[in-house]
Structure 1
Amino acid sequence: ETADGTLLLDGERARLDDLAKRLKLYKLRAKVTIEDQSEQWRVAALPGGAGADILGSDAGTAQAKDGGVLFVDPRLTALGARAILPADSVEATLSGLGLTTGDRTTYDLLRLGLGVPDGSRDMVVDKSILLESGFDELNGVDWKKGCYMGQELTARTKYRGLIKKRLLPVEIEGALPEAGTPITLDGKEVGEVRSTAATGSGGRGLALIRLEHLEAGPFDAAGAKVTPRKPDWAVLQTET
């Protein structure tokens, strides 16, 4: 929240119009104005140790900085921190913190290794189920909040043990398969590749895997060897 009471939302750039549309639909008579401020602000990821060196690694930590805010990533502290800063001063602020600009692949390799999804790159819009995507453990669901769209399905999925698939980190040996490529075991489809990033010897990715087959891997995806792994933070249905 800025000094003038503006609440800034960190959202997926490609889907900002849809976010604004949904917020306006449900604001009812609330006296709020919803605007796209993406030209005035920039969002930066301060991955892993870079964020921890500045803010520490305690969940919920935030710090005002040069008209913006730095905060520990609310999804998973191992991701580091994020920053929302004025567009005209973001480079100066980050430089003053001793940071240099990196590339998207460096960040992707970190989040993929941790098993953290990235918006519509990993979740199918209006189709993916939150709990299959790790939203419970990644602080994306408030179980005490009253009525919201999808509450009934989300609660039923959790308490009836209906989670049969999960987005999981995978190690890939061979050419990186495209997003949407089926993952197979002995010719039977058991999952689907989502986002990936290359490493020196292959790559990392996220994949939606049927939990009943999790221990049966490695799997195949368009000729590449795919080995899923349970992230430390995840609680799979088979463990409850």
Structure 2
Amino acid sequence: MTICVRLTDRALVEVSGEDRLAFLQGLLSQSVEDLTPGEARYGALLTPQGRLLFDLFIIGRPDAVWLDVAADRRDELVTRLKIYKLRSRVDIRPLDAGVWTCWPDAPGPGWVADPRREGLAWRAWGPESPPAETAGPVDWRRRRLEFGVGDAEDFDFDRDYPVELNFDRVGGIDFAKGCFVGQETTSRMKRRGQVKTRLVPIRFAGPPPARGSEVLNGALRAGEVRSGVEGLALALLRLDRIDGALTVDWRAVSAGAPLPG
């Protein structure tokens, strides 16, 4: 059975104009200069210091690029992009269209595989024939947590580094492209092996701990919980402390492996 959810926590920004690809190419962590209509990629806009500002799905359209961003951050994204606009011939505006995800199969033509992990889900933006919504946000959260994939609710914007959030392992960073905002720090962390913490799935008995709950390895702080569902969550953990007797809220925790590189 195909399960479908409308993602009301996501919204769209449209970037149009003849300079749209060159404009975004110089900003985003993902290469877009060869983006084709109907294609979707995953990426980010970072601070100059390399911290995450916005996680983005980048969707090619015939005469535009759509950016799928956390709904409560859409206005901030529009403002930020306009700051960078300068003399670029682009138009940037919010777009009123729904964002949908379905799994394990696409409900029809026009759906694009979620680029973050093979088999995770399918995604569509403003589909002409929206499917019936057969599940809710908690079902989608469980689905992506089972794949070890983070989303906006797992990120501390303007604080976290994208490689700590596994952007390098879900296709969110193109290390071969030219310059982008925050590239120097991002590339250095990856090249020098300076990634000391990562989002890691954890399992436990009972309801999910509150966001920010401390994960302990004995008496040592190992990290903190981000999003979760019954029995499963993602936590930002120190890689040197994921082995051993982990607990959260006095409950035993078992940590899974970080996403493969």
- TM-score w.r.t. the length of structure 1 is 0.78
Q: Which whole-Å deviations, capped at 9, do the CAs of 1:1-55 have from their partners, x for residues lacking one? A: 445x132111111111121122112222111111111xx20000112x123x75x
Residue 138 (structure 1) aligned with residue 170 (structure 2): yes
Report the residue type matching 2:143 in the other structure.
Answer: L
SS at match of 2:223: strand
Does 2:74 correspond to 1:42? Answer: no
Q: Does 1:229 align with 2:256?
A: yes
1:144-155 equivalences under 5 Å are 144-155=176-187
Code of the residue aligned with 2:130 in structure 1: it is T
Do 1:182 and 1:189's aligned partners in 2 also have CA atoms closer than 8 Å? yes
Residues 174 and 224 of structure 1 are in contact (CA less than 8 Å); yes or no, is this contact kept in structure 2? Answer: no
Alignment of 1:220 onto 2:247:
yes
**Whole-Å Cα distance in 2 between the matches of residues 93 and 190 of structure 1?**
43
CA shift, 1:105, in A, is 1.1
Tell me: CA distance 1:156–1:43, structure 2 relative to 1, closer, same or farther (3 Å).
same
- Equivalences for residues 71-220 of structure 1 within 5 A: 71-85=112-126, 92-95=129-132, 100-119=133-152, 121-198=153-230, 203-217=231-245, 219-220=246-247
SS at match of 1:132: coil
Q: Structure 2: how far apart are the matches of 1:150 and 1:20?
A: 19
RMSD: 1.8
Q: Which has the higher strand share?
A: 2
Q: Select the structure that is richer in helix.
A: 1
Q: What is the TM-score normalised by the length of structure 2?
A: 0.72
Identity %: 33
> Which amino acid in the other structure matches residue 234 of structure 1?
P
Gaps of 5+ in 1: 55-62, 65-69, 236-240
Task: Give the deviation of 1:157 after TM superposition.
Answer: 0.3
The alpha carbon displacement at 1:160 in A equals: 0.7
Once residues 130 and 44 of structure 1 are traced to their aligned partners in structure 2, the CA distance between those partners, rounded to angstroms, is: 24
Q: Kindly provide the amino acid, as one letter, of the partner of residue 28 in structure 1.
A: L
What is the CA–CA distance in structure 2 between the aligned matches of 1:227 and 1:14, rounded to whole Å? 33
Bigger RCO (CA 8 Å, 6+ sep): 2
How many residue pairs were aligned?
202
C-alpha separation in 1, matches of 2:139 and 2:125: 19
> CA shift at 1:139, angstroms?
0.7
Give 1:26's match in structure 2, choosing from 81, 84, 91: 84
Does the CA contact (< 8 Å) of 1:177 and 1:224 recur in 2?
no
Q: Distance in 2 between matches of 1:107 and 1:80?
A: 9
CA contact (8 A) 1:180 1:194 kept: yes
Larger radius of gyration: 1
Q: Which amino acid aligns with 1:186?
A: G
C-alpha displacement of 1:191: 0.8
Q: Distance in 1 between matches of 2:144 and 2:66?
A: 23
What CA distance in whole angstroms lies between the structure 2 residues aligned with 1:24 and 1:75? Answer: 27
User: Structure 1 CA distance, aligned partners of 2:79 and 2:155?
Assistant: 19
Report how far residue 77 of structure 1 moved.
Answer: 2.0
Deviation at 1:148, TM superposition (A): 1.7
